[in-house]
Homo-oligomer: A and B are copies of this chain.
Amino acid sequence: MLDAATRLFASQGYANTSSAEIALAAGVSEGTIFKHYGTKDRLLLAILQPFLGELFQQMTKEVVRESFSNRTLTLEQFLRNFIANRARFLAENRHVFRVLVKEMMYNDELRDAVKAYAARHIPPALNLIVNQFKGKGEMADLPAETVLNLAATYLGGFFVSRFVFMDRDDISDEEIEEAVRFLMGGIGNRGAS
């Protein structure tokens, strides 16, 4: 039932999917849907909430664990691990990710909720890492906030364009490598600087 709804929302959008369609796809009656979730709105939340929890909590958990367990990790290795890890998670949950991205565009409340959630979870965990790499001289001399902002903007574009815009099912190692290299050195010629 959640699965059927997720797929439909992912491909058509929440607003363009009727409860009749969901019932048909899930092989239950419309009544059953509303018995379980009360309203179409709460059905959407039932889909998004567990994903949001995992998305941020797993992300920060992995990052913290990694940064403490392996002190010789270079920035490049860290980025590679991090991006590969999130790419795998999003590929597995690509339908829910599509729903989340599409609905964040349409739904102000949801957008604000996600923004608040992200603001509360991401900086505390990642500022630490950024400063660690800055201390080792591996990172450009920019405020931690700026670094996170730049990386988030690029990685947001990266994942959304692949999974949502291009409707991809996964991301290849080559693409990840490209992303890592871009984050590390931009597109300017290093030797020329």
**A-to-B contact residues, CB < 8 Å:** 11-13, 15-16, 75-76, 101-102, 104-106, 108, 111, 115, 137-142, 146-147, 149-151, 153-158, 160-161, 164-165, 178, 182-190, 192-193
Contacts and interface: CB of A to CB of B under 8 A. Distances in A.
B15 A140 contact: no
Q: Which of A11, A182, A185, A192 has the most CB of B within 10 A?
A: A182
The residue in A11, A155, A183 that gathers the most chain B C-beta atoms within 10 A of its C-beta is A183
B111 A102 contact: no
A153 B154 contact: yes
Contacts of A185: 140, 185-186, 188, 190, 193
Contacts of A140: 185-190
A138 B186 CA distance: 12
Contact of A183 (B11, B108, B187): B187
A150 B187 contact: yes
B187 A190 contact: no
Contacts of A192: 137-138
Sorted from nearest, which 6 A-B pairs have the closest CB atoms?
A: A157-B157, A186-B186, A184-B188, A15-B15, A13-B106, A185-B186
B142 A187 contact: yes
Given A105-B105, A187-B183, A153 B142 contact: no
The winner among A164, A187, A193 for most chain B CB atoms within 10 A is A187
Given A102-B106, A105-B164, 12 more contacts: A15-B16, A106-B106, A137-B189, A137-B192, A138-B189, A149-B178, A150-B178, A153-B158, A153-B161, A154-B154, A185-B185, A190-B190
A184 B186 CA distance: 5
A151 B75 CA distance: 21
B151 A157 contact: no
